[in-house]
Each structure stands twice: as structure tokens, then as C-alpha cells.
Homo-oligomer: A and B are copies of this chain.
């Protein structure tokens, strides 16, 4: 009853300041899970770098000090956020084809999901992740590679290589999405066709490569047409993954 009253007052004033926070008899349900979920939502909303302990606390209507009951520090929180995001990756099933088709699907989904949460994949660069969902991904990757007939050591090294590929691709994709969003926000809504945006996105790189001296950088100059035309990023990603898997199968 008091809780309800307090909550209502706070809701109508929009601030915790006016009333005495101490009058709260019972605290809203705070938990490690809630903190991590709030942080992931913030990553999507304001971006990885802008997720601060203060902002997470604010989203949960509390102070930054309260978060440290559930989380050791920002790094640990972000590691949890990373694993939560990884949980959104659906594992391919029987109907998705043989080991190779499933592996390609798994890697593609991981890149899509992680790249969709801004730079959360940066967490994977800080070391081997041992969260529940990270282990699930490793298990499935190794299982599929084994099904492909690779040797034990090759499986482990290949999983390592694929993990590097997923992480760097997710970060690349996150950066691309960010620039698209920035462009979309800045451009006048009238001419914001997708083609115009895509073209504008690569415009500065176009200029850089075009201005290069053909004598000093002959190959870049010769290929600048192919470099600018990023074209279908989907096809590019699929090509890269095919390269890696073909390479794996070429090993003894």
C-alpha cells in the first residue's frame, strides 16, 4: 500500500527527489538478471560505449552503488550482457541440412545477432568467454566440425578461427549499422532512399581511393571500382565463410 502510493507519487512527479526515498518500505525487485537485461536494452538504445553504470542504475530507478551488489564491475556486467545476447542465437536443427549448411547458418546467425547489439562483441576480445550460451555455441560448433570429419586438433583450431571471424564480422556489421543510422538521422527525410544512403555511405572512401596517386598505389587504383562497390554485404559475408570452410576441408 505504501509501496503503491510511493510508486504513484514517483510516477506522477517523474522524479525520486521530491519525496524521501527512505520512506520506501520495500524495494522494487532488483536482481542480477534485471540488471543485465536493463544493460542489454541500453546497449541497443544508446550504444555499447555509452552504457554506463549510472545509466543502467537510472533505468532501474536506483543509484549506481546498488548495482555492485549484483555485479563486480562494468566488465563483468558486460560479459553477462554478451552472453545474454548470444542466447538469442537459435541453433540450426535437423531440417537445416548437413553439417556444413548448419555451420554456415550458425555462424551467420551469430554475426547477425551480435552485430545487432552494437559493439557488444568487443567483450569477446577480452578473453575466452565461458558463459552458458558461449559454451553452447562452442559445443555446437565443435560438434558440427567433428561431423565434418575434422581431426581433434583441427576442430579446436577451426572453432577458434571461426570465433575470430564471428567477432570481427559482428563488429564490422555493428559499425556499418551505426553509420547507416547516423546517415538516416542526418539526411533530410525526403531523399532518404536506400540507394542514396548506401551511396553516400561509401562516398568519402570513394574520394580517398580516387585521390590516390596511381604510381604509388597502382593496385588499389586499378581495383578502386571493385572496392567502392561494396554491393551485397550478404553475398560478401557468405563468400568469406565459404572460403574458410573450403580451406578447412583442404587440410589433411
Contact = CB atoms under 8 A, between A and B. Distances in A.
Contacts of A160: 236, 240
A161 B219 contact: no
Interface stretch (A7-15, A91-99, A164-172): A164-172
A101 interface: no
Contacts of A126: 175
Interface residues of A, number: 52
A60 interface: no
A128 interface: yes
Interface string A18-31: 00000000000000
A76 B190 CA distance: 33
| Copies of the polypeptide in the assembly | 2
Interface string A132-169: 00010011001100100000110111101100110111
B125 A219 contact: no
A120 to B, nearest CB: 13
Interface of A: 122, 125-128, 130, 135, 138-139, 142-143, 146, 152-153, 155-158, 160-161, 164-165, 167-169, 171-172, 175, 205, 208, 212, 216-220, 223, 225-227, 236, 239-240, 242-248, 250-251
